[in-house]
Amino acid sequence: MTIRRLPETLVNRIAAGEVVERPAAAVKELVENAIDAGATRIDVVLGEAGRALIAVADDGKGMKADELSLAVERHATSKLPDDDLLAIRTLGFRGEALPSIGAVARLTLVSRTKDAAEAWSLSVEGGRKGEPVPAAAPPGTRVEVRDLFYATPARLKFLKGERAERDACEDAVARLAMAHPRIAFSLAADGRSVLKLPAQTGPDDTARLARVAAVIGKEFFDNAVAVAAVRQDDEGEIRLSGHAGLPTYNRATSMHQYLFVNGRPVRDKLLAGAVRGAYADFLARDRHPAVALFLDLPTQLVDANVHPAKTEVRFRDPARIRGLIVASLKEALDRAGFRASTHVAIEALDLVRAPSPQYAFAGAPASPASAYVSRGVAEASVAYHAPPAAPSFGASVPMAAYAPTEPRDLPLGIARAQLHETYVIAQTADGIVIVDQHAAHERLVYERMKEALAAGSVARQTLLIPEVVELDDAAAARVLAKADELGELGLGIEAFGPGAVMVRETPAMLGELDVKGLVRDLADEIAEHGSALSLKERLGEVCGTMACHGSVRAGRRLSGAEMDALLRQMEATPHSGQCNHGRPTYVELKLADIEKLFGRR
C-alpha cells in the first residue's frame, strides 16, 4: 500500500470527530467564537437538541466578505496575532471549529461589521464551500448549523437521547456564561426558553458572584463558603476565587463542579483531583463536592493547547497549583466551623411532613400516618436531663466545662433529652437541634488526631529487619529527595546502594503493611504530583477508622453534662457538622418550620 494524501473533505471529517463529537461541542465552539468577537449578547437556539438546528447569534464585531470565506478554512484564525502559543488570551485559536462543523453538517454564516452597509452570507454543506453573497442582517454574526452529522450518519447512532443532549448543550452554555458575566446569554430549545441571563454590572467579583448564583441557584450559596487566595512571585500573580459547597452538600457525580482557568471552562484531571483531595477527610469515595472555582494565572504558566476540544490544560508547575487549591479549599472549609448544609433540615422536614389533614370522627379508625406517629412516640426512649453543674464526659477528646446559660447564647443550644440512647435533642433560641452522638464525637476525635498528624507527632515503629526496596535509579532518587517529608509522616527511609532504598521505620498506626508496595506507590505519586499523597491518605484513613472505634457509640446513655459538653466541643471544632463520610452530624429544625408541620403557620 503506497502513501497518499487524504482528500480535503475526509481530513475535515476526521478533524470534526475530534472537535465536534456531539451537539454540545458545536454549541461550545460557536459560543466561544462569539465571546472572542467581543459580543455583549449571545442568543442560542436549538432544534431537536441540536441535531436539526443550532443557531448562535451575537452582536460582536462581525466579518467582511473575504474574512467570511477565510473563516471556514482549516487553521484560519484571528486570535494569535503574534503566533505565540504561550500567550493565548482567547477561548478559540485553532481555527478548526467552523470547517469541522461544515464538513459534517449544513453550515450558514451571516455576518456584518458595524461600519458596513450590508451583511454577507456564506454556506458550507458537507465540506463544499459556496461563495459569499450579500444579505440583510444587523451588525454581528449569526451561525446556523442544520442537520448535524448528516454527512457522517454513523455518528448519529452514538448520540444519547434528546433530553441528555439538550442538557449537555445547556451545561456548555451555562459554564461559559459563568465565566463571562458581562455578556447576556439566552438559550431556547424547540420554542421553549431554557436559559436567560442578563449581563451583570458592577465590580468584577460582584458580577461573577451574581452570575454564578443565577446559574447554580440559591441553594448552593446557602450551603457554600467563599474561596479566595492569591500567590505572588517573580512570574506573576496566581489568583483562586469562587465558592466551595459544604461537605454535607454533596452530590452523586462531579457534574456540579465548575472549574475555570483564565475564563476557560475545563474538565482537568489535576484540578478535579485537587478538589477531591481537599474533601478527602469529609466525603465517602462515591460522593462528590459542589464547587465553582476560578483560577487566573499568567498565560506563560499554563498551556491550553493540549486537547483539540480545549477542555484540558497543562500547568508548568502542577504541584504548586494543586497545593494552592487544596490549601485554599481546606482553609475555606475550616472557616465554616460546625456548619451543616441547610438542605439536610429541608429533607428531614419533607420526610416527616404529614399529608393533607384527615379529620377523624368519633369511632373512626386511626389513619396509618397517625398510627405510625403514635407508635413512634410510644417506642421512643426519652431520657430528660436537667442541666447539671459539671461534665462527666470521659472520652479521648477534652470537653469544655459546662456552664448553664440561655439557649440564645449557644448556636447548638442546650441539651434537653436523649432519644434511643443515640440522638441528643437540644433547644436553641429559635428551634431544636438533633445530634447523632456517635457521628459527632467521631469527627471530634478525628480532628484531634489530624492535629497530631499535622504537628509531626506521628508515632513510629522500628522494623526488626529493615526492608530493602529495589527501584530504578530515578524513582529511588525521587523518594530519597522526599526523605525528610516522609520522615515527618513516620516513614524512615535511607539510601541503600544504586536503585534501592532501605525502610527502617513505618508509622505505628498503619500496623502491618506492604512496605515495598507503599514505597513504589510513593515513588509514582512523587513523579506525578511532586508529593507523597498515598501515605498521607493511608494515615488519614487509619485516623478515621481509629476515630470511629474510639468515639462514643450509639446505645450509650449520656448524662446532661456529657451531652452539653459534646455540643460545646462541636461548636469549637471545625468540620463538626459532618462525620468522616460526609453525613451530617446534626439536623437543625427552626421553630417556624415545626409550627408549619402542625398548621400553626
pLDDT of residue 74: 79
**Average pLDDT, whole number, for the chain?**
80
pLDDT of residue 227: 93
pLDDT of residue 537: 62
In this prediction, residue 380 has a pLDDT band, given cuts at 50, 70 and 90, of: very low
Cite the beta strand spans of 269-365 per DSSP E.
Answer: 288-289, 291-296, 302-303, 314-315
**Which is more confidently placed, 369 or 507?**
507
Whole-angstrom distance, CA of residue 246 vs CA of residue 341: 6
Does the structure show a pLDDT above 60 at 357? no
Q: Minimal CA–CA distance to 79: which of 91, 96, 62?
A: 91
Does the structure show a pLDDT above 90 at 30? yes
The mean per-residue pLDDT over the stretch 181-190 comes to: 95
Alpha helices in 361-512 (DSSP H): 368-379, 437-454, 473-481, 483-488
pLDDT of residue 285: 75
* Residue 151 DSSP one-character state: S
Per-residue three-class SS string for 69-99: HHHCCCCCCCCCCCCCCCCCCCCCCCCCHHH
Strand partners, 502: 468, 494
Does the structure show a pLDDT above 80 at 220? yes
pLDDT of residue 257: 93
List the strands of the sheet with 586-590, edge to edge: 382-384, 414-419, 423-428, 431-436, 586-590
pLDDT of residue 348: 58
The mean per-residue pLDDT over the stretch 75-83 comes to: 70
The mean per-residue pLDDT over the stretch 317-323 comes to: 90
Does the structure show a pLDDT above 50 at 301? yes
pLDDT, tens digit, 9 for 90 and up, residues 533-589: 555 665 565 566 555 655 676 778 888 888 988 899 888 888 888 877 777 888 888
Lowest mean pLDDT among 139-143, 441-445, 506-510, 541-545: 541-545
The mean per-residue pLDDT over the stretch 167-193 comes to: 94
The mean per-residue pLDDT over the stretch 490-510 comes to: 85
Does the structure show a pLDDT above 80 at 242? yes
The mean per-residue pLDDT over the stretch 264-280 comes to: 89
**Are 189 and 168 spatial neighbours (Cβ–Cβ below 8 Å)?**
no
Residue with cell 466579518: 63
The mean per-residue pLDDT over the stretch 150-161 comes to: 86
Does the structure show a pLDDT above 90 at 382? no
Q: Minimal CA–CA distance to 529: which of 326, 257, 334, 227?
A: 326
pLDDT of residue 6: 76
The mean per-residue pLDDT over the stretch 49-76 comes to: 90
pLDDT of residue 59: 95
Does the structure show a pLDDT above 80 at 93? no
**Are 593 and 345 spatial neighbours (Cβ–Cβ below 8 Å)?**
yes
**Are 187 and 23 spatial neighbours (Cβ–Cβ below 8 Å)?**
no
- Quote the crossing angle between the two packed helices 97-104 and 8-19, to the nearest 10°: 110
Whole-angstrom distance, CA of residue 235 vs CA of residue 128: 47
Whole-angstrom distance, CA of residue 344 vs CA of residue 333: 18
pLDDT of residue 345: 56
The mean per-residue pLDDT over the stretch 127-142 comes to: 92
The mean per-residue pLDDT over the stretch 105-127 comes to: 92
Whole-angstrom distance, CA of residue 114 vs CA of residue 541: 62
Burial class (CB in 10 A: 0-12, 13-18, 19+), 591: middle
Give the Cβ contact number of residue 271 at 10 Å. Answer: 24
In this prediction, residue 597 has a pLDDT band, given cuts at 50, 70 and 90, of: confident
pLDDT of residue 468: 92
The mean per-residue pLDDT over the stretch 441-469 comes to: 79
pLDDT of residue 343: 55
The mean per-residue pLDDT over the stretch 420-438 comes to: 89
pLDDT of residue 361: 38
Does the structure show a pLDDT above 60 at 276? yes
Q: Of the ranges 161-170, 364-373, 447-456, 528-537, which is most confident?
A: 161-170
**Are 438 and 553 spatial neighbours (Cβ–Cβ below 8 Å)?**
yes
Give the Cβ contact number of residue 274 at 10 Å. Answer: 24
Q: 379 CB contacts (<8 Å, ≥6 apart)?
A: none
Q: Minimal CA–CA distance to 456: which of 489, 478, 479?
A: 489
**Are 420 and 558 spatial neighbours (Cβ–Cβ below 8 Å)?**
no
Whole-angstrom distance, CA of residue 107 vs CA of residue 26: 11
Whole-angstrom distance, CA of residue 33 vs CA of residue 275: 30
- Coil vs helix vs strand at 140: strand
Whole-angstrom distance, CA of residue 441 vs CA of residue 585: 9
Does the structure show a pLDDT above 70 at 359? no
Does the structure show a pLDDT above 90 at 110? yes
pLDDT of residue 364: 40
pLDDT of residue 541: 58
pLDDT of residue 253: 87
**Are 123 and 106 spatial neighbours (Cβ–Cβ below 8 Å)?**
yes
Q: Of the ranges 125-139, 212-226, 309-323, 475-489, which is most confident?
A: 125-139
**Which is more confidently placed, 133 or 515?**
133
**Rounded to 5°, angle at Cα 169 from 164 and 174:** 120
- Output the CA–CA distances (angstroms, integers) from residue 76 to 20, 97, 112, in the order listed: 17, 10, 19
